[in-house]
Amino acid sequence: MKIVMIGTGYVGLTTGACLADLGHEITCVDLDAERIAALKRHELPVFEPGLAELVKVQMAKRRLHFAARPNRPVRSADVVFITVGTPARQDGDADLTQVEAAALETARLLRPGALLVLKSTVPPGTAHRIRQLVCGRRGGSRVRVASNPEFLREGSAIADFMETDRIVIGADDDRSRTLLEEVYEPLIDKGIPLISTSTINAEITKYAANALLALKIGFINQVADLCESAGGDVDYVAKGIGLDKRIGPAFLAPGPGFGGSCFPKDIRSFAHTGRRLSAPQHLIEALIDKNEERKRELAHRILREAGPAPARRRVAILGVAFKANTDDVRESPALTIIPLLQEAGLVVRAHDPKAHPPAGQLDKVVWCDTAYEAAIGADLAVILTDWPDYRDLDLERLAGLMAGHTLMDLRNIFAPSEVIRHGLRYVSIGRPAID
């Protein structure tokens, strides 16, 4: 099939490359002309494991193309996916400006019978609204609009797409459903479960899935607090809970609060939708506040470890990405924690294997090429991101470079015994501090 992705970010580029791998002919469009020019030179705008190789192979097979303008590819497309950003507004509602603009621009080019699919994460009712909007612009002529939420995670996006737990297709007519099933036929044939439902159900499924995953993280963070107060160890507790098949082990790792480009904005929008439709989401409202509070609380914990006079003391921050294997810093806990440390007078030296925040964010940080460089003269080292690289650190070398001897691990990536034998004091989450 001829497919166009409107928006070539994490989702548009990954799904475009994966759909090309499934045998379709894909054009990824982005209004950022520089991004498109770079992609044509095989330079990727985002870091995602395996993606550069997949893009290169599919370009060589001439199944993956890039364009700065939608006109030509959309005119001959069978299906057009909208994969643009849906940031949160101040009041928590999703800002659909990009989706609306992309839909209007696309709809005027679509040939009769072609399908417009919303893959961006949007509030329930958006597919209906977009259908009315674009049909109105086309003088009332019919445009089919379907919903196909995306569940991939940054850091494991290709596997998440190719071996997804399920495909959710939201369509309000048979022709749209058939076209979308054709897009995913190679995956459906492999036995991947398909949920074929209405657009509203598909839209709610995506929000509810993200909300439940975020709740699991918020829950285990509170259990970790309880473990600290009671003298317990959250690692054992999480294992004990997670082996229950009704619960499952994923998303039960305590940390500095969740961040990223999806959970925070999607749960705010979910809560906003609940308020708008008089179906308040009390659990999610509480989670939103609690998660923000957690980031601030952990900043204060770091300050307590830094001692009573933090001014000019040095802290080495290891990791600023919101999680491992991505260069994404959107809503990363680091963006809340580091400025609070700096306000209190700490000098922050930071390292991340891939993430480099854009200008204007974390400007006063001293950026270092390696974790060891960040640790030079540090009174305290703090692991903020669970990068596998940090698991392989030579802790003896790290300890030797530091002025102090405390390693705070806000991701519990080490076993305590492993750290203390190198002369470090080890403070982790939901586990007893060990000297």
In angstroms, give the least distance from the CB of 182 to ligand NAD. Answer: 22
Residue closer to ligand NAD, measured from CB, 30 or 409: 30
In angstroms, give the least distance from the CB of 375 to ligand NAD. Answer: 31
Residue closer to ligand NAD, measured from CB, 268 or 351: 268
Identity of residue 273: T
Residue that the structure tokens 């190198």 belong to: 422
In angstroms, give the least distance from the CB of 352 to ligand NAD. Answer: 18
Would you say 55 and 89 are in contact if contact means Cβ atoms under 8 Å apart? no
Diameter of the chain measured on Cα atoms:
74
Residue closer to ligand NAD, measured from CB, 261 or 412: 261
- Mind spelling out the 3-state secondary structure of 45-77? CCCCCCHHHHHHHHHHCCCEEEECCCHHHHHCC
Residue closer to ligand NAD, measured from CB, 16 or 416: 16
In angstroms, give the least distance from the CB of 282 to ligand NAD. Answer: 23
Q: How far apart are CA 183 and CA 86, in angstroms?
A: 24
Residue closer to ligand NAD, measured from CB, 28 or 419: 28
Structure tokens at 232: 């317990």
Identity of residue 285: E
CA atoms within 13 A on the CB side of 168: 22
Residue closer to ligand NAD, measured from CB, 45 or 242: 45
In angstroms, give the least distance from the CB of 353 to ligand NAD. Answer: 19
262 tagged catalytic: yes
In angstroms, give the least distance from the CB of 188 to ligand NAD. Answer: 20
Q: Which residues bind ligand NAD (CB under 6 A)?
A: 6-12, 29-32, 35, 83-86, 98, 101-102, 105, 120-121, 150, 152-154, 261-262
Residue that the structure tokens 């006109």 belong to: 71
Between the CA of residue 47 and those of 121, 348, 363, what are the distances in Å?
A: 21, 25, 22
Q: Which of 18, 227, 262, 368 is catalytic?
A: 262
CA 21 to chain centre: 23
Structure tokens at 72: 């030509």
Sign of CA dihedral 339, 340, 342, 347: negative
Residue closer to ligand NAD, measured from CB, 33 or 403: 33
Q: Helical H runs in 313-380? A: 333-343, 371-375
* SS3 state of residue 392: coil
Would you say 388 and 324 are in contact if contact means Cβ atoms under 8 Å apart? yes
Residue closer to ligand NAD, measured from CB, 36 or 395: 36
Q: Output the residue with the shortest Cβ distance to ligand NAD.
A: 9
Structure tokens at 164: 């997804």
* 4 contact partners, CB below 8 Å, separation of at least 6: 26, 27, 28, 29, 70, 73, 74, 77, 79, 80, 81, 106
* 234 contact partners, CB below 8 Å, separation of at least 6: 220, 223, 224, 227, 254, 412, 429, 430, 431
Q: Where are the strands (E) in 288-376, listed by range?
A: 314-318, 347-351, 366-367
In angstroms, give the least distance from the CB of 184 to ligand NAD. Answer: 16
Would you say 35 and 66 are in contact if contact means Cβ atoms under 8 Å apart? no
In angstroms, give the least distance from the CB of 306 to ligand NAD. Answer: 34
The residues carrying an active-site annotation are: 262
